[in-house]
Structure formats: C-alpha cells, structure tokens
Structure 1
Amino acid sequence: MTNFQPTGALAEARVARAAVFSGVGRPLELRSIPVADPQEGEILVRVVGCTLCGSDVHTYTGKRSTPLPTILGHEILGRIVAFGPAAARRDARGTSLHEGDRVTWALVASCGACFYCRRGLPQKCLCAVKYGHEPLHEDARLRGGLADYCLLAPGTAVVRLEDALSDEAACPANCGTATMVAATEAAGDMHGGCVVVLGAGLLGLTACALARSRGAADVILCDVQSPRLARGAAFGATRVAAPGELGAAAAGATQGHGVDVVIDSAGTPEAFESGLALLRLGGAFILVGAVFPTRPVELHVERVVRRNLRLCGIHNYAPEHLVKAVAFLEQSKHPWHSLVADWLPLSECTRTFQRAQDPAVLRIGVRP
C-alpha cells in the first residue's frame, strides 16, 4: 500500500509525471505536467496504482481509436490530496471523505441532467468525462491513471475503500467488476439456473463469481486458453469447456433444454454465434466484451422472436453498480489478488503494455 503524506495546498506536488500515448507504434512518453489545483467540484487524488484493462491494450495496439494525445488507464486507485471548494465530502455510499482516504471512482463522470442521465444511462452522459479516454489539452488536467495524479471531475461517483481490500482486488473494481454487476443484473433471475460465460479473462472470472453469488446452480466457463480455464473453479465455475466441448457441456447440464443465460465477455463474432445457439426458450444473451470493431454477425431475427430470446448489450455501468461491486469484493473470498501478475513502475509503461499482450496475463499494474 502506498504511504500517503498530506500536501496541504500542494506546495510539494505541483508537477506530475504522466505516460502520454501519442499513437500506435510509438513508445509512451514520460512527460512532466503541472498539477492543477482542484476547482469547484473537483477532487485531486494521488494515484496509488492502475491496472491495464483489455481496452487499454486494444487502444495501444490500434484495435480501437481514442483522441490523441492522451493518458491511458482507467482502472485506478488513488488517495485524496485535496478537495475543490464545492466538492462532495461524502462518497456514493454516504461515507465521509477526507484527505488521505484510498478511493476508487466511476469510469465516467456525468452531469445528472442531460437526456441520457435522466433515462438511467449516466455512462452515456452527453457531457461525460471518461477517465483514461480524454484528450490531453493545453490545460493539462490529468484524467488518466498512468500518471502521478488524477483530477476527478464534478459528477464523479467516488467510493471510499476499506483497508482490508487489496489493491489487486480494488483496481479493476471500477471497470470489470462494476460492468459485470450491471451485466448479471441485466440477465435477471439466475437462482437455480445454468449460466454460460464466454471468455475466461478477468471479466469472465468475475461473471462466474457474481453468477454464483446470485444463485446460479451451474456456471460453465468457456475459453480457447486452457491456462485461463484452470482458474475457473476458484472463481465459482462448476464446469469448464473448450469451444468444441461447450455444446455437449451445456446440453448435459440442462437435459438438452438449453441454458438460461449466456454472458459474452470474449467479444468475438464466433463467441456470439456459438453462444446464441445454447440458449433455452426465453433465455437471455448479455453482450459485454465486444468493445472493438469486428466482422458483422448473422442473426435470424425470426428465431429470436419465436424462441422468446432476450439480447442485451452492456457498456460500462451506473454509479450504483460500482457501489455494489465494491461491496461484493469486500465480502468475496475469491483469490482476486492472483489476477494481477505484477506491478511495474510508471517509468516502464511501454514494457508494461508489452507484457499485457500476453494471453496468460489477465492484469498487470503500474505504480507511480
């Protein structure tokens, strides 16, 4: 755990190092950037650690685009350094916030008043600030995790963390864990049911654990990588299967009727096409992993209608899902610490991204 020393008016913390991403094929550039004092509803935090999400790697390798230049990294933990004059002094659970508190925060800051915020989709706010995805402007407000500091925008849901929750468990809470809380809620009642999880990365393992916590009797985890499947039982999977074995596993678990829910964290067209065929009448398919462009898939709409199927896409989450994610992790006995392979210094960010492309590495972290 990073030691925290209050800085008062930031007299000793005016400059931050930040690993700036300027384009595919270019090494991350470690820059010195002035630290802006928090204004109005902003909160300044000193970064404790940031784990690299699959979407960070997709941006780094060119699978998805983002405004440039930018500071990547959104699975961030920090300790509060200073509050803006109008910043909230209670977190999303109603707990008092103080300088020095270790916190996580929602991936997206929202206004609470726009078209989408009023319709329960604050993650699609028309005025959104999305951490790890914002362009680095001349005002140099730090909005990504690969830096010494991060400046939280007004409208950011913050959650104070208990000391007992490890950095390894807490870092992905505001991305993979909270997203999977939203996904499993969207799937509906799982009690006594059979759930298939496609993809055994951090998202998929989290889906297994959440599905079991919601009462699923059978959770079948599928992946092309055997080493990833080997982790499944520790996170609640009752069966594991390679893609060629999945149909038989699902049929055996349901007497041939089909599974109640498929959660796709793999995001490939092949995963969608194979998973859809596994559903029982009235089953639900929850799409989570398709966050980069792929080929189109073939979908027979008549079959969806006649089989009473439900298809639902989940991208990010609302603040209440982050609150539930942290509460889940605080009670969970699963070995979340084992999912972060290593922590490397901020000065070695380029090497960190290289290591993150290894399929055996589910998460790797950066510490300033």
Structure 2
Amino acid sequence: MHTVDRRSEHDVIVKPSPVAMVWNEPGRAQDALAVPGVHLCDGEALVEVELATICGSDIHTVLGHRPARSPLVLGHEQVGRVIALGAGAVRSDGTPLELGDRVVWSVTVSCGTCDRCRRGLTQKCRTLAKYGHERVHRGWELSGGFATHVQLRAGTAIVRISEDLPAVVAAPASCATATAVAALAEASARVDLDGALVLITGGGMIGLTAAALALEAGATVIVSEPDASRREFARRLGALSADPRARADGAERLESVLAAAIGTDMREVLVSIEASGVAAGVRTAVAKVGVGGVVVLVGSVTSGGELCIDPESLVRRLASITGVHNYDARHLERAVAFLERSWRTLPLDELVGSTHALAKLDHALEEAASGRHIRVGVAPGRRAAP
C-alpha cells in the first residue's frame, strides 16, 4: 500500500518510493530504479499501476531487433489508478481527471497544436513522446508501464474505465485494442463492414482483437494464422480460420476456406488486415483483396524487406493499401467501450496467459518471447516467488 505526501502544489512524495525497471541493452538484467519524489506539472497525473502486459514491441526491443534509446523503462500497455494530480489534468473527453479514477492511457504524448495534431494525426505529433520508448531522464523517470507508478504527461489521452473490467482485459487497450480499432476504422472508411468478407493475416493480440471487432460489425472473418491454438481461439470468437502452411489438400488451406466463405454469393475479400508483420502475410493480404477492397497494414513495425507489388493489379482491382501505426484518442475511447460491453461474453481474459511480479520482469519477458502466450502480465503488487 502506497501513501502520498503532497509537499507542495507540484511535488509529490510516495512511500514506499515508486520503482521502475530500467532496460539497458540486450542480454543484461534490468535494474530497479527508486524514484522518491515526483514533480507534477500542470495537466499531469501520477498513476499507481495495477497491471501491465508485455507487447510484441517490448520483446523486439529486449531482443535487440529494433533500435532503442536506452536506458529506458519499457511497457506501454497497462491499467492503473490516479493517486496524485497536477492542476488542470483532464480525461480524453475533456472532463476533469479525479483522484481514484481507474484509467488506461494512450501510448503517445502529443502537443495538440502542431500541423499534424491539427490534421488529426496526434500519434505523429512533431514533438511526440511515447510511454515505454523514451530514454530515462531526470523529471520523467516513471515513463513506462513496467513500474509501480507512471507519470502521465499533459497531452496524454486518459480514459476512465469501470471497476469491474478485469485488469487483464483492460491493460492491452492502451496499445493492441486501440490499434485494432484504428485499423477497422481505416477499413470501414472505405468499405461497409456489415456483410463484408474480411481476411486477417496474423492471429496475435491485434489480429484477434480486430477479428472480434469486425465480427461485432457484422463481417464474415477469416483469420490466417499458423499457430493451432490461436486458430482455435479465433473460431471461439466466431471467425473462420486458415493455416497458411497447410498442404494443398489441407482442410484449413486458405484457398479452401476462402472458397467456402465466398460460396455461391459471388463475394470477395473486401478488407485485408495484415497483423503479422511477416512478409508472406503482407503478400497474402495484398493478393487476396478483391475489387474495391482495402488492405490495412498494421503488423509491419520492424524492417521486413521490400514488397513487390504489381501496380496494374492494384489499378484494375481499384484496390487501396493504407498503413496504421498507433492511434488517436477516439480509438482508445472506442477500444474501452468495446471491452466494457464485450468482456463478459468473449473470452478476452484468456489472452493473458500468465502474470508475474515486477521483480521477475526479465523472466516474464523471456516467457513472452517464447510465444506460448499471446500476452504475459506484470503485476507490481504481486510478490515475487522465493
């Protein structure tokens, strides 16, 4: 149990001191950093972390597959409770943030005034900062979710959640769920999802969430995923599943599943969402989209080589390709609304396979990298096993 001592209008002392886990380089154990005092500027908030989940990008960083400005505090999928406020701190809808609010927040911090923010591209702000991605520096040590507390800066989209929404369901909203919402928003801007045939390549957290969202919108969904347990989960959601590695005569061969879904209705894939980040998945997403369809690329967040596309094929199909990276406040709000209304009927809590104490973060990251679970949780309040 943490206690908060407000030393001045801006300075907060938390006892015991907040602790953040600091990553330095691949292969090195993370260090625990104690932060005895926090200076809250106007519009900021201090949140005690209830649970964080490990995103694929955290794993890419730890394994050295993507550049990172170390030392840094990883983690950007989490849920927590507000324990201290700077003057004028607000939720994403503009209402005042309150002590005790249970919240999730955006991965990005945006200025709100630059040309990109004014165009609605707050996730690409000219002065963008990102939770779990920034080099640790004095004044913002609590900048990632793998910590007991996170300091939320002004310009963060903060969304209040209900007390009964399970933490394992709520935490991924800050990245995977909101990104899936953004992908479906891009698709639905071009295609009516109700009655559409949607192909999703990749059955990870984003792909499965996108499947659930598309199904809710009235689409027929096919999830192409090599892992059998993830295909089974997709079917539990109500989607069809295909194995991209299936032999020509396999029951789950993508061509067979597509043929069965199309049937005699003369339908074609109108939305392809690529959520695997694998070159073969991108090629499939582009190749299978039909006339007037849209391909939404979401998973390609690390270098995966060049993609050869026949421009004539795109032109004749009237097809379009768009990319989605992160999201804006509206998508986070919609993500929370989706989770609030669906968690009792969909097995979303099962997407987090195990949860570990913060002191066991290195072990949790190793387990997440193994691929045994779609998500692995980190709970600061949990005691480490002896």
TM-score range, shorter chain: over 0.9
User: 1:86 offset after TM fit, Å?
Assistant: 3.0
1:322 is matched with 332
One-letter code aligned to 2:254: L
Hey, what does 1:205 align to over in structure 2?
A: 208
Whichever residue aligns with residue 162 of structure 1, its letter is S
Q: Does 1:249 align with 2:252?
A: no
Q: Which position in structure 2 is the counterpart of 1:240?
A: 241
Name 1:334's counterpart in structure 2: 346
Cα pair 1:51 1:172 within 8 Å, conserved: yes
Q: Is 1:362 the equivalent of 2:374?
A: yes
Residues in 2 aligned to 1:96 and 1:184: alpha-carbon distance in whole angstroms: 30
Shift of residue 271, structure 1, vs aligned partner: 0.5
Match of 1:46 among 20, 45, 48: 48
Cα shift at 1:23:
0.9
User: Partners in 1 of 2:119 and 2:13 — Cα distance?
Assistant: 43
The one-letter code matched in structure 2 to 1:137 is H
Q: How does 1:246-325 map to 2 (within 5 A)?
A: 246-255=254-263, 258-325=268-335
Q: CA deviation at 1:257?
A: 5.2
Query: Once the 2 structures are TM-superposed, how far is the Cα of residue 17 of structure 1 from its aligned partner?
Result: 1.4
Q: Which amino acid aligns with 1:342?
A: S
1:130 corresponding residue in structure 2: 130
Stretch moving more, 98-107 or 311-320: 98-107
Deviation per residue, 1:11-41 (Å, 9 max, x gap)? 4437321110001111111222333131111
Q: Name the % identity.
A: 38
Give the aligned residue type for 1:258.
E
Distance change (3 Å), C-alpha of 1:215 and 1:15: same
Normalized against structure 1, the TM-score is what?
A: 0.94
| Amino acid paired to 1:357 | A
- Does the 8 Å CA contact 1:260/1:284 hold for their aligned counterparts? yes
- Provide the rounded CA distance (Å) in 2 between the counterparts of 1:13 and 1:123: 34
Instruction: Give the distance between the partners of 1:165 and 1:59, measured in 2 at CA.
Output: 30
Query: How far apart, CA to CA, are the structure 2 residues paired with 1:253 and 1:269?
Result: 25
Which digits, 9 at most, give the CA deviation of each residue in 1:185-216, with x for residues without a partner? 11121111111111111111101100011111
- Aligned residue pairs, count: 362
Unpaired runs of 5+ residues, structure 2, are: 247-252, 381-386
CA distance in 2, matches of 1:55, 1:121: 21
- Name stretches of at least 5 consecutive residues in structure 1 with no aligned partner: none
Match of 2:35 among 23, 30, 33: 33
Match of 1:350 in 2: 362
Residues 35 and 149 in structure 1, CA contact (< 8 A), matched pair in contact too: no
Question: Residue 4 and residue 169 in structure 1: after superposition, are their counterparts in 2 closer, same or farther (change >3 A)?
Answer: farther
2:190 is equivalent to residue 178 of structure 1: no
TM-score by structure 2 length? 0.90
Aligned to 1:59: 61
CA distance in 1, matches of 2:276, 2:5: 43
Residue type of the partner of 1:208?
Answer: A
| Aligned equivalents of 1:257, 1:160: Cα separation in 2 | 41
Q: Distance in 1 between matches of 2:95 and 2:168?
A: 22
Partner SS, residue 107 of structure 1: strand
Instruction: Output the CA distance in 2 between the equivalents of 1:156 and 1:203.
Output: 22
Q: For residues 202-256 of structure 1, what are the alpha-carbon distances to aligned partners after superposition, in whole Å with 9 as ceiling and x for unaligned? A: 111101100011111x21111111111111122231x111014112211331247
Give, in whole Å, the separation in 1 of the partners of 2:47 and 2:37.
11
Q: CA deviation at 1:338?
A: 0.6
Paired AA for residue 252 in structure 1: A
Cα distance per residue 1:38-77 (max 9 Å; x no partner): 1111111111111000111111111111211100000011
Q: Secondary structure at the match of 1:281?
A: coil
Q: Counterparts of 1:116 and 1:348 in 2: how far apart (Å)?
A: 39
Q: Determine helix, strand or coil for the equivalent of 2:38.
A: coil
Aligned to 2:250: none
Q: 1:269 to 1:63 in 2, by over 3 A?
A: same
Is 1:196 the counterpart of 2:206? The answer is: no
Is the Cα–Cα contact under 8 Å of residues 199 and 266 in structure 1 kept in the other structure? Answer: yes
1:6: Cα distance to partner? 5.8
Cα distance in structure 2, aligned partners of 1:359 and 1:184: 25
**Residue aligned with 1:36, SS:** strand
Question: Is 1:82 paired with 2:90?
Answer: no
Question: Which letter does structure 2 place at the counterpart of 1:198?
Answer: T
**Does structure 2 conserve the Cα–Cα contact (< 8 Å) formed by 1:4 and 1:100?**
no
Aligned-partner Cα distance in 2 for 1:114–1:14:
39
Q: Is the 8 A contact 1:71 1:133 kept in 2?
A: yes
Contact 2:20 2:141 in 1 (8 A): no
Distance across 2 between alignment mates of 1:120 and 1:299:
29
**Which secondary structure does the structure 1 equivalent of 2:370 belong to?**
coil
**Residues in 2 aligned to 1:6 and 1:35: alpha-carbon distance in whole angstroms:** 10
